[in-house]
A and B are shown apart, each in its own frame.
Chain A
Amino acid sequence: MRFRLPLALLAGSAVLIAGCGSSGETAASGKATISYAIWDKNDQASAEKIIAAFQQANPNVTVKLEITPWDQYWTKLQTAASGGSAPDVFWMNSLNVRMYAKGGIIAPVDESKAQGLPAAVVDGYRYDGKLYGLPHTVSIPALWYDKKLFDAAGVAYPTADWTWDDVKAAAKKLTDPSKEQFGILAHMWDQGAFYPTMIQAGGNVLSADGKKSGFDDPASIQGLEFWTSMIEEKVAPIAEVYADTDVITLFQSGKYGMFYGGAWLAATFWANPEVRDRIDVAPLPKGPAKEAVILLGLANAVSAKSEHPKESAAFAEFVASEPAQKILADAGGGALSLRDGTQEGWYKAFPSFHLKETYDASMPHGVPYPVSLNTAQWQDVQNKLLAEAWAGKRPVAEAAKEIATQMNEILAKE
Chain B
Amino acid sequence: MSKPRTWPAHVFLAAGALVMLAPFAWQLIVALQTLTDSLRVPPKFTPSWQWSNFVDVFRSVPLARQFVNTAVVTAAVTAGQLLLCSLAAFAFARLRFPLRGILFMAFLAVLMVPGELFLIPRYEIMQGLGWLNTLQALIAPGVFGAFGTFMLRQFFLSLPKELDEAAAIDGANPLQIYWHILLPLVRPGLLALGMLTVMWSWSSLLWPLVVNTDPEMMTLSAGLASLRGQFLTNYPILFAGSVVASLPVIVLFVVMQRQLIAGIAFTGSKG
The chain A residues found within 8 Å of chain B, CB to CB, are 3-4, 7-8, 10-11, 14, 41, 66-73, 75-76, 79, 83, 180, 245-246, 248-250, 252-254, 272, 274-275
Count A/B pairs, Cβ under 8 Å: 61
How long is the Cα–Cα vector from A275 to B233 in the complex, in angstroms? 16
The chain B residues found within 8 Å of chain A, CB to CB, are 34-36, 39, 41, 60-61, 124-125, 127-130, 132, 213-215, 225-226, 229-230, 232-234
Residues of chain A contacted by B225 (CB below 8 angstroms):
71
Minimum CB–CB distance from B152 to chain A (whole Å) comes to 30
- Pick from B34, B60, B128, B232: contact of A8, CB below 8 A: B128
A4 touches B128 (CB 8 A): yes
- Pick from A11, A76, A245: contact of B233, CB below 8 A: A245
Residues of chain B contacted by A250 (CB below 8 angstroms):
39
How long is the Cα–Cα vector from A9 to B17 in the complex, in angstroms? 58
How long is the Cα–Cα vector from A10 to B229 in the complex, in angstroms? 36
Chain B residue with Cβ nearest A75:
B213
Name 13 interchain pairs, CB-CB below 8 A, sorted by A. Answer: A8-B128, A11-B130, A70-B229, A71-B229, A83-B127, A246-B234, A248-B232, A249-B39, A249-B232, A254-B36, A272-B36, A274-B34, A274-B36
- Chain B CB count within 10 A is highest, among A7, A72, A75, A180, for A72
Residues of chain A contacted by B61 (CB below 8 angstroms):
41
How long is the Cα–Cα vector from A3 to B226 in the complex, in angstroms? 33
Chain A residue with Cβ nearest B235:
A249
A69 touches B226 (CB 8 A): yes
Minimum CB–CB distance from A210 to chain B (whole Å) comes to 31
Residues of chain A contacted by B127 (CB below 8 angstroms):
79, 83
B128 touches A11 (CB 8 A): yes
Minimum CB–CB distance from B216 to chain A (whole Å) comes to 9
Residues of chain B contacted by A245 (CB below 8 angstroms):
233
How long is the Cα–Cα vector from A10 to B127 in the complex, in angstroms? 12
Chain B residue with Cβ nearest A272:
B35
Residues of chain A contacted by B125 (CB below 8 angstroms):
3, 7
B213 touches A76 (CB 8 A): yes
Residues of chain B contacted by A248 (CB below 8 angstroms):
232
B124 touches A69 (CB 8 A): no
B233 touches A249 (CB 8 A): yes
Given contact pairs A71-B225, A72-B226, A252 touches B39 in the complex (Cβ within 8 A):
yes
Q: A41-B230, A72-B226, A254-B36 are in contact. List 10 more A-B contacts (CB 8 A).
A: A7-B128, A66-B214, A72-B213, A75-B213, A79-B127, A83-B127, A248-B232, A249-B233, A253-B39, A275-B36
How long is the Cα–Cα vector from A248 to B232 in the complex, in angstroms? 8
